[in-house]
């Protein structure tokens, strides 16, 4: 299975719902708010000047509350929705300018979608659901089944090939959705609130399945969620939307440590910082230690705190993969960084 060749570049993307959307773009550029546009012109601002660089082979999370524009945004990537203005670049190709045939090929071969409500075909077995995309592509039945079998096994559904969706739990149905998407061998995986309908424990389990698969596959994954813990666990990069605009984007660490405004501060206040912030962010790069405890670069503070507790040490040398020292981490700095700062 090939690694993703291209990321996705979203540039100056606007979506205004209504009969004269194109005429309304300039009004939004001139500063008209979503509420005012709706009130005065009866048009709805879906997306407002979105610019996101989604890296190839990584998980890009788009997060926001209901009505923030995140589902509208993901549907622009495979052009289920046409933009009012702007570009969605895949390599050198603008998805927004593709012909009908080009778009059909792009959807069939380059993208696969996993939905919140599973979107399985109820009259088809697990195997028949998994091969559906390959059938449409005209892949011979024997090859299609071989490819699907591999992914059915990988997502933990070995032995369920002949079951129908109504015989499966919600978590198992979502595994079928994932197997179907992976069987297509698409560069881009679009996941719209894919785990939101699942119970918390099953949801965590599916997140683990996705992270394990991604370690092997390096797909370009766009993952939509309204849940910050999920965003922080999955996202290599996160973009937070509000009222159709990007409020902040960056790594989970950057967002937790430097929230852009009060809105995002409220989001991150309850976050377990020990599971988000890496030791590299907190260590003192100007210091070095001779001997004593060593901690590998890239681990989370929570893990470092456990090492301190287990050994009784109060400071440690942070080292890279070859054992070269990068800096010094203390218990005090670790604890301080794990405690959420007061905003009042």
Q: Please name which of 161, 216, 185, 223 lies closest in space to residue 8, comparing C-alpha atoms.
A: 223
Task: Report pLDDT for 342.
Answer: 47
Share of the chain above pLDDT 90, in %: 36
pLDDT tens, position by position, 195-220: 887 788 888 888 888 898 898 889 99
| Angle at the Cα of 73 from the Cα atoms of 67 and 76, rounded to 5 degrees | 140
Task: Report pLDDT for 272.
Answer: 83
289 and 266 belong to one structural domain: no
264 and 289 belong to one structural domain: no
State the DSSP code for 32: -
Final residue of a domain: which of 216, 239, 271? 271
As for how many domains the chain has, the answer is 2
Residue 138: inside a domain: no
190 and 324 belong to one structural domain: no
pLDDT tens, position by position, 91-122: 899 999 999 999 988 988 888 888 777 678 88
Contact 7, 187 (CB under 8 A): no
> How far is it, in rounded angstroms, from Cα 207 to Cα 221?
13
Q: Containing domain of residue 323, as a range?
A: 275-338
**Kind of pairing between the strands at 85-90 and 8-17:** antiparallel
Residue 247 pLDDT > 80: yes
Final residue of a domain: which of 240, 271, 302? 271
Q: 61-84 burial, b for 16+ CB within 10 Å, e for fewer? A: bbbbeeebbbbbbbbbbbbebebb
214 and 92 belong to one structural domain: yes
**In CATH, what number is assigned to the domain containing residue 84?**
3.40.50.300
CB atoms within 10 A of CB 35: 10
**In CATH, what number is assigned to the domain containing residue 296?**
3.10.580.10
CB atoms within 10 A of CB 44: 17
pLDDT tens, position by position, 116-169: 776 788 898 889 888 888 888 888 888 888 888 888 888 888 888 888 888 888
Residue 100: inside a domain: yes
Residue 84 pLDDT class (50, 70, 90 cuts):
very high
Contact 1, 215 (CB under 8 A): no
């Amino acid at each position: 299975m090939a690694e993703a060749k291209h990321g996705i570049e979203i540039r100056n993307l606007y979506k205004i719902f209504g009969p004269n959307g194109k005429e309304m773009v300039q009004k939004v550029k001139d500063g008209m708010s979503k509420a005012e546009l709706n009130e005065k012109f009866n048009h709805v601002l879906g997306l407002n000047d979105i610019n996101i660089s989604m890296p190839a082979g990584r998980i890009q999370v788009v997060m926001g509350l209901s009505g923030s524009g995140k589902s509208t945004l993901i549907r622009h990537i495979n052009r289920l929705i046409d933009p009012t203005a702007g570009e969605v670049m895949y390599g050198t190709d603008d998805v927004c300018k593709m012909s009908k045939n080009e778009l059909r090929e792009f959807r069939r071969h380059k993208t696969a979608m996993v939905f919140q409500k599973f979107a399985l075909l109820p009259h088809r077995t697990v195997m028949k659901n998994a091969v559906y995309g390959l059938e449409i592509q005209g892949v011979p039945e024997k090859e299609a089944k071989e490819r699907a079998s591999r992914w059915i096994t990988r997502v933990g559904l070995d032995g369920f090939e002949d079951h129908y969706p109504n015989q499966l739990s919600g978590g198992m149905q979502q595994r079928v959705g994932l197997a179907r998407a992976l069987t297509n061998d698409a560069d881009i995986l679009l996941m719209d609130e894919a785990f939101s309908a699942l119970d918390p424990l099953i949801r965590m389990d599916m997140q683990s399945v996705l992270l394990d698969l991604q370690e092997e596959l390096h797909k370009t994954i766009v993952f939509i969620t309204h849940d910050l813990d999920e965003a922080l666990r999955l996202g290599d990069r996160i973009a937070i939307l509000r009222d159709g605009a990007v409020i902040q984007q960056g790594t989970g660490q950057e967002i937790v440590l430097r929230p852009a405004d009060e809105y995002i501060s409220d989001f991150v206040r309850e976050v377990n910082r020990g599971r988000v912030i890496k030791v590299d962010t907190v260590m003192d790069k100007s210091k070095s230690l001779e001997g004593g405890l060593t901690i590998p670069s890239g681990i989370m503070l929570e893990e470092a705190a456990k090492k301190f507790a287990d050994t009784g040490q109060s400071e440690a040398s942070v080292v890279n993969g070859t054992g070269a020292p990068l800096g010094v981490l203390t218990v005090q700095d670790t604890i301080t960084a794990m405690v959420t700062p007061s905003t009042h």
